[in-house]
Amino acid sequence: MPGTACKAVPVASLGDWIMEFELRDEEKAFDEEVEQFLRDHQSPEVMDAHPEQLSQTVDTPAKRAFMRRLAERGWLGMSWPSEYGGRELSGIYDFVLTEALSRYGAPQPGKGVGIVGKTLIRHGSDEMKRRFLPQILRGEIEFAIGYSEPDAGSDAAAMRLRAERKGDGWVLNGAKLWTTSAHFADWYWVGARTDPDAKHKGITVFLIPMDHPGLSIRPIWTIGDERTNEVFFENVEVGPDAVVGHVNQGWTYICEALDLERFAMMPIGGLEKKVEALCAHVHAAEVSGRRLRDDPVARRRIARVVTELEVSRMLQKRVISAALKDRIPTVESSQYKLYMNECGQRVADAALDLMGPDGILRPGDEGALLDGKFERSYRYTVVDTIGGGASEIQKNIIATRGLGLPKNF
């Protein structure tokens, strides 16, 4: 496989794949370089106190400056074609960077590099490529993604935000829901219905500045203490240059972007930090004068979460394997996101069981174990199962595209 020592070997008796995956020497050197950079630039103004939550919903000048430092080192868009400013490196370098950032709770390149940028490279006009790709590579721009709506949550194809023709441009009216970065993003990557008589083939993607007249934002706070938003469109007029790719072909672009989001926006570093913290707690804790690590029930719970973490790693590597072959990892991404997110819930559940009553104390409460990180994790992991497509949607993708089952089975 190009760029990494990764190979898949069929096992006929299992009907599945066993994967051997190991970084090459130059990739390991890059991993060490990134780790050193993050150690040298550790700062509470940039890195979240609870990196296992991966909450990237707060924007500050320090975080934007940090992203520009990544850009100065040539670490944004490393796998992009050279004609668009990339270095044409293997996608494994993007993976190494994202995972290291996630372990430190640092800002992620995410939407700009992995969703907007890669989709523009595939489908954007020459003008859009000239306008946005250099800004993405310089770490100068933030995007919000708008698919979900009040009456069309996980079923993005049912979106009803209207985009109607006006001359050679469009007028948009309606609302979007759960747009996480709307309160600080510079541009809105948004899907709208341009053909009311079609479902999947009646959607177009637009790029609209967040300060555009007619756009308004209302905050929504989630159970995980994370801000998301509702965005309202009232006679938002845009020109033809706001259209991404071709009119009425937006559903294809959205599906590709969602696959990229499930990969690029779902690193496993946060889950690893959760499991490490839980193992350390069980190793050191005592209950009624007895070491918790000697309790057979506690040992079984720890063995299970460590095993499930390893399964999550293997599913992630299947996504990477597909992506490195320049294939959109639709089914693999859904398998990974579904399992990894629900594994995160099970880890948080196990932690609260093993910690007892003190485990339910919140961050900042007196006596909260591990500063209440698992109480917050217990709430936050509900949000994880919704972003990028709810778990039910992932199951449908696996069933229909992976197993070939009918849609109405």
pLDDT digits (tens, 9 = 90+) for 139-158: 999 999 999 998 876 677 78
Measured from the Cβ of residue 46, the count of other Cβ atoms closer than 10 Å reads 20
The type of residue at 352 is: L
CA distance 164 to 237: 10
Among positive and negative, which fits the CA dihedral 336, 342, 343, 344? positive
Q: Distances in Å between the alpha carbon of 221 and those of 48, 231, 334?
A: 18, 14, 26
Q: Cα-flanking dihedrals φ and ψ of residue 13, to 5°? A: -70, -25
Classify domain 145-254 by CATH number.
2.40.110.10
Would you write out the chain's pLDDT as a tens digit for each of its 409 residues?
A: 333 443 433 333 333 444 456 788 999 999 999 999 999 999 988 887 665 544 556 788 999 999 999 999 999 999 899 999 999 998 889 889 988 998 888 988 878 998 899 999 999 999 999 999 999 999 999 999 999 998 876 677 789 999 999 999 999 999 999 898 999 999 999 999 999 998 889 999 999 999 999 999 999 998 888 889 999 999 999 999 999 999 999 999 988 776 655 555 578 888 898 999 999 999 999 998 999 999 999 999 999 999 999 999 999 888 888 777 767 778 888 899 999 999 999 999 999 999 999 999 998 899 899 889 899 899 988 888 887 778 998 999 999 999 999 986 5
Return the pLDDT at 7: 40
Which CATH number, 3.20.20.210, 1.10.760.10, 1.20.140.10, 3.90.1300.10, labels domain 268-402? 1.20.140.10
Q: What is the pLDDT of residue 117?
A: 94
Choose among 386, 122, 58: nearest CA to 257.
122
Which amino acid is located at 49 in the chain?
A
Domain positions in the chain are: 21-108, 145-254, 268-402
CA distance 151 to 230: 12
**CATH code of domain 21-108:** 1.10.540.10
Strands 187-193 and 143-146: parallel
Yes or no: say if 298 and 281 are a contact pair by the CB < 8 Å rule: no
268-402: same fold as 21-108? no
**pTM assigned to the model:** 0.84
Residue 261 is among the residues annotated as catalytic for this protein: yes
Instruction: Name the E strands within 178-333.
Output: 187-193, 203-209, 215-221, 227-238, 243-244, 286-287, 290-291
pLDDT of residue 81: 96
Q: Is the CB of residue 395 less than 8 Å from the CB of residue 338?
A: yes
Return the residue matching tokens 């919000």.
144
The catalytic position among 226, 261, 332, 375 is 261
Q: How far apart are CA 335 and CA 304, in angstroms?
A: 19
